[in-house]
Chains A and B, each alone.
Chain A
Amino acid sequence: MREPVYIGGPAARGPDLEELLQLVARGDQNAFGTLYDAVSGPVLGLTRSLLRDPAQAEEVTQEVLVEVWRSAARFDPGRGSAMAWIMTVAHRRAVDRVRSAQAASDREERAALLSRTPAFDEVTEQVEARLEREQVRRCMRTLTELQRQSVTLAYYRGRSYREVAELLSLPLGTVKTRLRDGLIRLRDCLGVGA
């Protein structure tokens, strides 16, 4: 008997998020409830990895979800997926929060920042997230050390690329390219089409 094999892509994707978001834009609260079930876990995971403090992460998660409700009409399916749109809103907002709280830091924090891999060790029941986690972990391993550190510090920790350069003691130009190369390698490894 053959095991099902998932090759890249949204293997376990549930509801059509684009369609839901368009219903939400028209004020459909039920659609919002379904959308909530699909995206609240990723939003919380992301804000938690950026903010670290569980209470703040939950607060920002709620703000993000209310924001999605409020500005759903801005989503344009021609320009990317609903998940990417929502995660961009979430990342932006959490990063704003991180930067406003952050004192000019802290070389010694670097080790701490890098040692805690983004919430990978925590549990979630969502099948999709589990599959995604396996895949992302595998793809992360294909990055060079500097690429991985740059992507982690910028995306999961909300550091500006100047801060990343400082933390890693690298020239700005190097971080700029490592960050881009790392993301491009992840894009290709994850099979992201646009």
Chain B
Amino acid sequence: MTRADLHTLTGAYAVHALSGRELGEFERHLAVCDACRQEVRELRETAARLAVASSLAPPPTMKDDVLRRIATVRQEPPRLAARETRESHAGPRRRTGRRAVNVALAACVAAAAVCGGAAVWQYRQASDARDTARRSEQRAARAEELTQVLAAPDAHSRSGRMTGGSTGTVVVSRGLDKAVFLASGLPEPPAGRIYQLWFSDGGTMRPAGLLDSSGRSTAAVMSGAVGKASAMGVTVEPAGGSRAPTGDPLVLLAFPSA
């Protein structure tokens, strides 16, 4: 694409109408084109006016819901934010995130036999995983570990419906001896309670960490090695966790055989 061609993509870019190769190409161009950045900025201001024009009155209960939710969500520290902003305000959003999708999809392809025809669902799952990955940018090491498991060549996944209707997925890499648990649509645990993960060693539950469940979707590297575990489970436990499950599991997922 010529420079002039690229420049005309400001409109499409401003309203998120670019994807794939073109998006990357345009973002690289944006980094060296002041005029383009300026135009994107103006067109985004314009788009915001279109949004305001479409305002609807939210249901009265929503405000309380949102205020309750933010009370449990940790904010990004300013320093990190400044760095990312400099990297690119115009659009670059979450590089880590996009990578996570790619690896999640890669893992999915590797596990095609497991994923089967659930492509749409998998995409959504990946998209949830991406959101989650973005949320954990601060905890870079953790995110890196998560990415490694999802991208492992021998990653296999299993999903199931959890009590309450949310979906849980476990991705296991026997090579790394690690597992990642992903949940989407998981409600906040009741006050004073927390979700806990478990490895099942032939029916004996071994604690595998607590699930930080702020937000709609969640991903966590399970604590400890997979070892001889044949399944994993999730329970609701008193805050701080338990040494053995005190309630029925919300879901039990058998690991794909090695």
A-contacting 9-mer, from B41-49, B144-152, B241-249: B41-49
Question: Is B3 engaged at the interface, CB distance under 8 Å to the other chain?
Answer: no
Interface residues of B in 1-19 (CB under 8 A from A): 5, 8-12, 14-19
> How far is it, in angstroms, between the C-alpha of A36 and the C-alpha of B19 when the chains are bound?
31
Question: Is B201 engaged at the interface, CB distance under 8 Å to the other chain?
Answer: no
Q: Mark B57-94, 1 if CB is under 8 A from A, else 0.
A: 11100110111011101111110111011000110010
**How many residues of B are counted as interface, with CB atoms below 8 angstroms from the partner's CB atoms?**
61
Q: Is the Cβ of B55 less than 8 Å from the Cβ of A126?
A: yes
> How far is it, in angstroms, between the C-alpha of A37 and the C-alpha of B90 when the chains are bound?
26
Q: Is the Cβ of A136 less than 8 Å from the Cβ of B50?
A: yes
B196 to chain A, nearest CB (A): 24
A176 to chain B, nearest CB (A): 5
Q: Is the Cβ of B49 less than 8 Å from the Cβ of A91?
A: no
Question: Is B52 engaged at the interface, CB distance under 8 Å to the other chain?
Answer: yes
- Residues on the B chain within 8 Å of A137, using CB: 53
Q: Is the Cβ of A81 less than 8 Å from the Cβ of B53?
A: no
Q: Mark A13-29, 1 if CB is under 8 A from B, else 0.
A: 00000000000010101
Q: Is the Cβ of A96 less than 8 Å from the Cβ of B127?
A: yes
Given A66-B73, A81-B45, are A161 and B56 also a contact pair (CB < 8 Å)?
no
Given A70-B135, A161-B18, are A190 and B46 also a contact pair (CB < 8 Å)?
yes
Q: Size class of A's contact patch?
A: 35 or more
Question: Is B215 engaged at the interface, CB distance under 8 Å to the other chain?
Answer: yes
- Residues on the A chain within 8 Å of B11, using CB: 176, 179-184
B108 to chain A, nearest CB (A): 14
- Residues on the A chain within 8 Å of B41, using CB: 79-80, 84, 194
- Residues on the A chain within 8 Å of B66, using CB: 36, 40, 62, 65-66
Residues of chain B having any CB pair with chain A under 8 Å:
5, 8-12, 14-19, 38, 41-59, 62-63, 65-67, 69-71, 73-78, 80-82, 84-85, 89-90, 93, 120, 123-124, 127, 135, 215-216
Residues of chain A having any CB pair with chain B under 8 Å:
25, 27, 29, 32-33, 36-37, 40-46, 48-49, 58-59, 61-63, 65-66, 69-76, 79-81, 83-84, 86-88, 90-92, 95-97, 99-101, 103, 118-120, 122-126, 128-129, 132-133, 135-137, 151, 154-156, 158-162, 164, 173, 176-177, 179-184, 186-187, 190, 192-194
